[in-house]
Structure 1
């Protein structure tokens, strides 16, 4: 039957050639070939699209040393530029300096204001602006709790609620950021602090069409804090009335705050576990409020994070409390970067969730050469991580030693086409 069908089709083609001539026959073959090619391309295109590599290409947007958030024009132009350079993820700050950067009904009775009082933020909702424009450009928007439990010492938050603050053994509450800026730390074990932070988070994930929510290295406390009445009382209740140990004199952050002292190690683990317990409840609340949002975390490398800031992200990841991890590995030396990427905690986590590496694109007083950035991105890709996020927007091209045009051209070469984010 197939043979007869073939013979009939062949005879029809011969008759067509005799009727219309040799040139018409050639035209027919050309048109027929083009049609076949188009059909094959159409069939294959969806498959090629599905197989296209995914990658997170993110950037943090902050109001520190940056003007990007302080006008609609600046913000709109920034998102347009990032879109043209094929970025696909925005991490805008929504909580720092003791204020929200969106109009917040939750914050008003606590801080005295709905919104950061900076003049150029008034009458605006920058989070909604970012969500609108970011989603139009098919970019994910994941608000970032930049300050976490930290606040300026002179903020209304700290002054209105001194009982919420944790402290050192000697009663000192001041912590110097960068050895200059006076900060205080909210006590993550205080029930009222937990309620406040939880309410801020749920306000965002319920009110805005965000793709996720991100916490960072400030979602813990420094190793020598935790001697407030609430924490000490709780510790005594669970340790037969014993007081927490005094910080060892030779404990240093340069050594990841590690020391061969079992009593101190237990005190460190105990506080970290209490913060993990709060994160467990916060995760449940987020998912109950908006199941589709991604819970993201951008911590420091595990030993420093767990020992120096009591944020044990390895445990968080093992317990399913993180759905995306952006590790801050701000190393000028490529060998140091590679060493961090090889750590057991990193290698384990990258098998379970999208694991992104945070790359320093520069600071106000510390520019990073574009060649170093390119080399680090190439290394991260070679190690098969889920993507890159840059800290921070302003230094992508405005704070470098090279011209903005040259740096933008370099990012264009790093990200020549648009890609989707990997699924969490």
Structure 2
């Protein structure tokens, strides 16, 4: 009954969104009540070990090919993009990859025909331009045909990757579109942080809006999972998020702005988790956070590391989300070798294994394929014998620790680079079967 009710609410909201004659003030989907308590404990299911890869679309890092966007006719562009994706999936299949984490919301745009977000300019070069096909559906069809799973990967808060005048102008030009960019529909939600345009995570309506986007995908596509990356509060010393006014409005009762920020992030995770489970209990929900939750020097429960901590820098209490049962899986980014004293791979992998041990949350480890073969004074292991010994140690550990249920490589295009080929051949010999 709850599933039917949620579907009706989403359908109604989307219908209304498509019928208005001018950009509506809001396209927020009504949501079921946000979970105030942990989600009901679910019995552990039998799952295939994940051998995954992240396939990035922001800035066309992995796909689509830039050549398909520059000056091609629509038919040629579509053929080039689809052929490129088929070729990538064929290679991934041959390597033994069984799960693709496909970036469907790289910023404030979409890679599916959304009623909430305009089309991504990654596909055509222009925000809001119809690419002539549905990339998410195409990916699902092609991956499922090959026996591979697809998790829809969302960057929740990013609106743009820079704040250049040309970017601002392009976002403003979406005003007549249906839908227009959130930048013009809800300018009061937009902040600058990390030299990017982002949504303010402290605004409840902004969190509802993000949840409605996830709900749109889960209710219309046979995705196997949904993943958020680590971009929650993303600021830099030179470009902080100015949310003082938001804190004054919504932060009553919190001892500090940091505690309030962590609560905002947890509220988003809670309501997205609850919404996914009510729409389709078979869709997995996971997060891929920075590898360090907290350092032991700050918290006795933390890891024996000296790295940037998600709790303190992204205001993401990722350990608590696991403990509360809000996630089906967590995929920390452990992008360091065994010898990196400040953040040893084995120390962190085992720490996370202990975190998930008493829970039903599965643990996948994000591995730094992008560092393989790259010279580094602090991490020379990545170039020893093409990085194969280091990669072997990491995969061996992942397969030895019972609580680790898989590995995800960051990211797809590095499988095609000259410096990684020894490692790629090793992966194929190990996973390809």
- TM-score, length basis structure 1: 0.68
Are 2:188 and 1:163 aligned? yes
CA gap 1:191/1:319 in 2 versus in 1, 3 angstroms: same
Partner of 2:419: 401
| 1:190, distance to aligned residue in structure 2 (A) | 1.1
**1: distance between equivalents of 2:223 and 2:324?**
24
Supply the distance in 2 between the matched residues of 1:277 and 1:271 (Cα, whole angstroms).
Answer: 10
- Structure 1 residues 95 and 298 mapped into 2: Cα distance closer, same or farther (>3 Å)? same
C-alpha distance 135-144 of structure 1, shift in aligned 2 (>3 A) = same
Q: Distance in 1 between matches of 2:334 and 2:122?
A: 33
Aligned pair count reads 319
**Residues 1:202 and 2:197 aligned together:** no
Closer, same or farther in 2 for the Cα pair 1:229/1:394, shift >3 Å? same
Match of 1:354 among 341, 362, 376: 362
Over 3 Å counting, the alpha-carbon distance change for 1:268 and 1:123 in structure 2 is same
Give the Cα separation in 1 of the matches to 2:150 and 2:206.
26
Q: Which residue of 2 aligns with 1:61?
A: 55
Displacement of 1:380 after TM fit? 2.2
2:148 to 123, 129, 139: 139
Does structure 1 residue 238 correspond to structure 2 residue 243? no
Alignment of structure 1 residues 12-411 onto 2, 5 Å: 54-63=48-57, 64=59, 66-70=61-65, 71-107=81-117, 113-116=118-121, 118-119=123-124, 122-146=131-155, 148-149=157-158, 151-152=160-161, 153=163, 154=167, 156=171, 157=181, 159-160=183-184, 161-166=186-191, 173-175=192-194, 182-222=195-235, 225=241, 227-235=243-251, 237-238=252-253, 266-300=256-290, 301-303=292-294, 304-334=309-339, 336-343=344-351, 345-352=352-359, 353-362=361-370, 366=374, 369-371=386-388, 372-384=390-402, 385-396=404-415, 398-403=416-421, 406-411=422-427
> How far apart, CA to CA, are the structure 2 residues paired with 1:270 and 1:67?
36
2:225 and 2:285 in contact (8 A); partners too: yes
Report the secondary structure of 1:92's partner residue.
strand
Shift in Å, 1:124:
2.5
Partner of 1:254: none
Q: Is the 8 A contact 1:327 1:356 kept in 2?
A: yes
Q: CA deviation at 1:123?
A: 1.5
Report the CA distance between 1:355 and its aligned residue: 0.4
Report SS of the residue matched to 1:144: strand
Name the residue aligned to 2:20.
none
Structure 1 distance, partners of 2:235, 2:325, is 24
Deviations 1:102-129 (A, max 9, x none): 221111xxxxx33435427821322111
How far does the alpha carbon of each residue in 1:384-414 deviate from its partner, in whole angstroms, 9 at most, with x for none?
3111000000002x224154xx444211222
What are the superposed Cα offsets for residues 41-75 of structure 1, whole Å, 9 maximum, x if unpaired? xxxxxxxxxxx994110000012463533411110
Conservation of the 8 A alpha-carbon contact between 1:328 and 1:357: yes
- Conserved 8 A contact 1:141-1:210: yes
Instruction: State the distance in 2 between where 1:366 and 1:162 align.
Output: 41
Counterpart Cα distance in 2 of 1:321 and 1:339: 24
Q: Distance in 2 between matches of 1:331 and 1:105?
A: 40
The verdict on how the C-alpha distance between 1:285 and 1:314 changes in structure 2, with shifts beyond 3 A counting, is same
Q: CA deviation at 1:130?
A: 1.2
Contact kept in structure 2, 1:358 and 1:390, CA below 8 Å: yes
Q: Which range is displaced more, 69-78 or 214-223?
A: 214-223
Q: Is the 8 A contact 2:322 2:355 kept in 1?
A: no
Over aligned residues, Cα RMSD in angstroms? 2.7
Equivalent pair of 1:360/1:390 in contact (CA under 8 Å)? yes
The answer to whether the Cα contact below 8 Å between 1:158 and 1:184 also exists between their aligned partners in 2 is no
**TM (normalized to structure 2)?**
0.67
Contact kept in structure 2, 1:59 and 1:90, CA below 8 Å: yes
Q: Post-superposition shift, 1:360?
A: 1.0
